[in-house]
Structure 1
Amino acid sequence: MTFGGADSIPAHRYHEGVRRAIELGLIAFGEAVRLPVENPFIHPGSRGGWSWKPTHTRPLCDRAADMLYRLRGRSSLRVLELGPGAGVAAAEIRRIVPQCTLTTIGLTPIDPFQGQGGESESVVRQPMIDLQLIGDLPQMLPVSGGKFDFIYDNYGPIFWILVESSRRGCAARAGSLISDILEVLRGDGVLFIGASDGALLTERMLARHAGPDAMNVFSGPIYARTEIRTCIFARGTCRLLF
């Protein structure tokens, strides 16, 4: 059994990497996550079977990568990715800013040592993700460990929660989520949303927080005949990136 595509990782190595990360305290589960302690890799709906399907394998957006390159000179750079999927974008973030502290919030654990095979077992491998928080975004945000310079979401929980909020006409929930996310964004940080909900709800919620020291940049639409856009919220000195 393998995981991934052309450069697939044997499933046993992938799950051992996740288990090792849990033992090292690199993965923390939210209280609402009900996974068997003896086997935290069983999907609740799989009837005891193994679930190796990542939610997505999207690469890091080019524009997000460009912004991270510009932030490389910062000391104590902290990055938060929301909905990391299989960890493809996380690996790219680590490559661009290797000195950063990288935290993710998602629903499934990732092997943070993947892509480092072939080394001697005596070699200490460094994880590409410093801390994975497994659980719902609203639940895990308060325990994410402080404020971040760069928050990244590309069809992650922001997208799906705001799509649902738009369909149900629940602007209050959307507004609360955006406010909570901006609470963990530093005063000179960037929130990068790769795809808005498509009904302009994301844009309206972000516009409420714009002001003399904060700006929004909306680009797109990404697809023809849609209102899905890339949304960037920049505070303080990060406004100079545009």
Structure 2
Amino acid sequence: MTISPNTGGAPSAAQHSLRVVLVDDHGIFRAGLRAELGPELDVVGEAANVDEAIRVIQELVPDVVLLDVHLPGGRGGGGAEVAKQCAGLSTRFLALSVSDAAEDVVAVIRAGARGYLTKSANGADITAAAFRVAAGDAVFSPRLAGFVLDAFGTTASTEQDDNLDLLSAREMEVMRLIARGYTYKETAKELFISIKTVETHVSAVLRKLQLSNRYELARWASDRRIV
């Protein structure tokens, strides 16, 4: 899991850009954020409430949505409701909020967001985090990562320990690196394999260990001191 958005910058605009939608109920904040983001992010749409956000995202299917947690409209679910309603799309969600409350962090992550930054983050950090989220990584402001680990942690079980024997040598290597916080790209580089192969191995590891996501995997490996 990537704890800080500062560990690696975004690609230059000459390499490629991300299509981004900004979702926040404050127009002044959206304007300021848009001005601060790197040129690598192509802001293709904006929304100020839940209903508008769902419509715009489903219509544009951006690469990443910078999503406020507390939004008016909809059924009162805020940013988490937006993420849930758009879960079937290829779009990734990066929560961006003034709130650092555990319940807000956990709610939007459970809804499908890949990361959570507080609005104290600068434009360069948010730009880099957007690229990491688009690549499948999980990005959190440093002090928020503990909330996610606690919420998605699992208790040790004999059944899971037995399932560890089902992992191949390569799956063990991938599992250890991912649990240490390596991104898919970093893992691929370390093991001289493709990112797609890393994704395949991670899916196999989660299935065999009966875990749901990388957060649970990190906690599971840490509990057993095998990272």
Check whether TM > 0.5.
Answer: no
Bin of the TM-score, shorter chain as denominator length: 0.3 to 0.5
More strand by share: 1
Larger relative contact order (CA 8 Å, sep ≥ 6)? 2
More helix by share: 2
TM-score normalised to structure 2 length? 0.35
